[in-house]
Amino acid sequence: MDVETLKRLAGEKAVEFVKPGMVIGLGTGSTAVHAVRKIGRMWQAGELPGIVAIPTSEVTAREAEKFGIPLTTLNEQPKVDITIDGADEIDPHFDLIKGLGGALLREKIVAAASRRMVVVSDYRKQVTQLGARAPVPVEVIPFAQRPVTDYLKSLGACVALRLDGARPFLTDEQNIILDCTFESIPDPAQLAQTIRAQPGVVEHGLFLGLATDVILATPDGVEWLKK
């Protein structure tokens, strides 16, 4: 099977955890979008009455609106039953790197409010140690670009400003993203705390202790991994 088929299988499998009446966090990215579409089709067919959803990006909100999925906010529904989202890396402890899609801030806010976070991915995202294949995205207010860049370099990161064409990429909150490549990340929790200590840093893409389940698509089929 090709990669896109694997992503679709993982995204759709995760929707089996969604029940009528739930508050659902809708993730962002090329795998999570398949879950959004599956939920949308089930909503239209009357199979998920009473659900409301909180999108983690404006892109996801527009996708959900295509199907008429009822949307809400954390101000109205501060407790989320389940969030389905993708990941850029998954380690054996279910710790993640997320944010290559640019929505890490809202994704982490929604994940932290969720009773269950189901990560959908394909087997290529599995790593033995975070940082093996993906940079750590760091969302930063534009005013602080230079001091935060210098600080991250002092931590051993190779720092690249994410671009959208010739201009800096801007998040939904109008912040910039600095993609930080480390030679290794032996202690993700310590790195996460250290990054957040710098003024101007809004959030980072280390998602630690948030995922409860992983739906992993492999060439041999879809696997459900749980703690």
List active site positions.
107
Residue with token string 């750590």:
136
Contact residues for 175 (Cβ-Cβ < 8 A; gap 6+): 105, 139, 140, 141, 142, 202
Instruction: Give the tokens for residue 212.
Output: 């409860």
Which of 157, 97, 96, 90 lies closest to 128, judged by CA?
A: 90
State the helix-helix crossing angle for 58-67 and 32-44, rounded to 10 degrees.
Answer: 30
Contact 141, 167 (CB under 8 A): no
Calpha distance 14→181 (Å, rounded): 30
| DSSP β-bridge partners for residue 139 | 177, 203
